Structure 1
């Protein structure tokens, strides 16, 4: 849990909540006969979301073990889940190569994101902006702006498609884990190709802004107000620019490790990383 007091463990189809200081199992939550594939805890430590190979996703009250809601968000198992910093939205990444974003309280879908060419294995929200990052078995990392579009916004051809960047060519095997630093400026990705990559999100978002015509100075200087026709043309151009996907961003550093990477965590403050002075 976020407060560091409890450890939430998948044990077959069950979930056990263990008090870290004593090692005592405080609560065992029965499963649905199929192994757990992903667990995520809300920022307020009150809600647990569990996904299993049965395709069910369950929203559970951590204090009582009561299942508040259960549904099947995808036709294939959910490989990873994430809850945003407000605790209001859940992302489910699936073997069906899609990610869905859900309103946790209302239980409805806000976005269906498609574009990955492989099973989606990892997902994480940006802590301060409406961005979602996802990684798949083909080594690609997608960046989604959730302010663009909604519903089936990820469908090819949609004007408001929320994919704003595709980071490919760095990892050559499955991206198994993603983590964003607390300040929101660094993304860490881990892969089964035995590498960990550190990405500069400030540079990435600046490139996206330029790509979308949103950078400072783009429309600088005094200009007369546009006519209705000009305004419509500008809106169409902006929509087309938003459709362009950044793909040439490279990581700050690519770190080789000795084994395949299954999980990465961006720590609140790291004075140095592999002697490179990165934080």
Structure 2
């Protein structure tokens, strides 16, 4: 089985299923690799897609079977007025595994995407859902990103879809050069003229204004993670078929760095707010910090017991959040223990701050609110959890003006 696979809650019967399917796909892919022609190439790409999606399908099926009612809408009060919730809190409304979450730049909206192809929008003041986006294709949305103005949301499936957040309508659908491609990851640049996607064997740069591809960068495998530096000058990508993180100049497309050190598939990348550090994580259960200017390794953070699936920097750059996977199986058949935790790391001291528990499925995405007062985490257990961040690590005074009430509770930094 490939390194990207992580499956929750299996005993021996489930291991037999996974092993049998993986073996069948191995035989299929060997035969297709020796078969010439475009159709065989498309079939090979589809087989690899099935392999990558198997853990998600199994975990999602087990979750639904164990709790068919999961994903029911949150009850409202009898007079139908919005109910303000205090942190920590759990948002329920998805019926399938949550794959990605993102805050709008102004912090008023949280978007979450699931395996049924649904995007839900949440009011961050009340925690109530405000509607959803659905294109009726029911394809799992693996990644999403807001535009800098917050008016457009980009979602990734077999195509890049651009949504007008206000009207909740599709404004453009952008297809990869290879029709058999899957878009695994998406990131938005600091201006409205750049969106980046991680595909099968390529990273593509798009201009959403013209809906055209501006550049295609080759990659040896499926690009599960892409990240753009906050200043937009640097692009990073990582995924399968290599354990390296590749870094390019955004403007020229020239490769700047090859960051070597991981021993497994790359699942997550994040730049620090000051553009100086790139964090990477993946199947080897480690988080690595890199100096973006020199390419030198700054630190290796360990503690997760399974694959690390997601990363996010606090807006002040001193805290890094990470999320762990369910049970993972290595290519040799060894099992990594279940994780399901969110961990907070001190970037300055390179040490663990705390471990947040509560999710019962792979933690697929983490995101800090733009004002840094809380962290959101999305999971294969179909829920989103909100965690207060009450004490920034740098202890620097923050402006006292412009504060607003968040989720029924006023937060302050001590």
Which bin holds the TM-score, normalised by the shorter protein?
0.5 to 0.7
Match of 1:46 among 219, 229, 233: 233
Structure 1 residues 20, 277: CA separation in 2 closer, same or farther (over 3 Å shift)? farther
> What SS does the corresponding residue of 1:184 show, helix, strand or coil?
coil
Picking from 170, 173, 180, the partner of 2:361 is 173
Question: Which of 70, 76, 81 pairs up with 2:269?
Answer: 81
**CA drift at 1:278:** 9.3
Equivalent residue, structure 2, for 1:239: none
Equivalent in the alignment of 1:163: 352
Residue correspondence of structure 1 range 62-77 to structure 2 within 5 A: 62-77=250-265
d(CA) in 1 for partners of 2:405, 2:254: 42
Match of 1:116 in 2: 304
Alpha-carbon distance in 2 for matches of 1:49, 1:182: 22
Once the two structures are superposed, the pairs formed by residues 1-279 of structure 1 within 5 Å of their partners are 1-32=189-220, 34-53=221-240, 54-137=242-325, 138-149=339-350, 162-168=351-357, 170-202=358-390, 205=391
**1:4, distance to aligned residue in structure 2 (A):** 2.8
2-structure distance, mates of 1:89, 1:14: 24
User: Structure 2: how far apart are the matches of 1:272 and 1:164?
Assistant: 24
Residue 11 of structure 1 deviates from its aligned partner by 2.3
* Cα deviations by residue, 1:172-197 (Å, 9 ceiling, x for unpaired): 11110010111111111000000001
Structure 1 stretches lacking a partner, 5+ long: 150-161, 215-268
Q: RMSD of aligned C-alpha atoms?
A: 2.5
**Residue 118 of structure 1: how far off its partner (Å):** 1.2
Distance 2:360 2:201 in 1: 32
CA contact (8 A) 1:13 1:52 kept: no
| Cα distance, 1:40 vs structure 2 | 0.3
Q: Cα distance, 1:129 vs. partner?
A: 4.2
Q: Which runs of 4+ in 1 moved over 4 A?
A: 269-273, 276-279
d(CA) in 2 for partners of 1:198 and 1:2?
Answer: 26
Mapped to 1, the partners of 2:374 and 2:260 lie a distance apart of: 33
Higher RCO, 1 vs 2 (CA within 8 Å, ≥6 residues apart) = 2
Q: Is the 8 A contact 1:135 1:176 kept in 2?
A: yes
C-alpha deviation, 1:27, in angstroms? 0.9
Shift of 1:131: 0.9
Normalised by the length of structure 2, the TM-score is 0.46
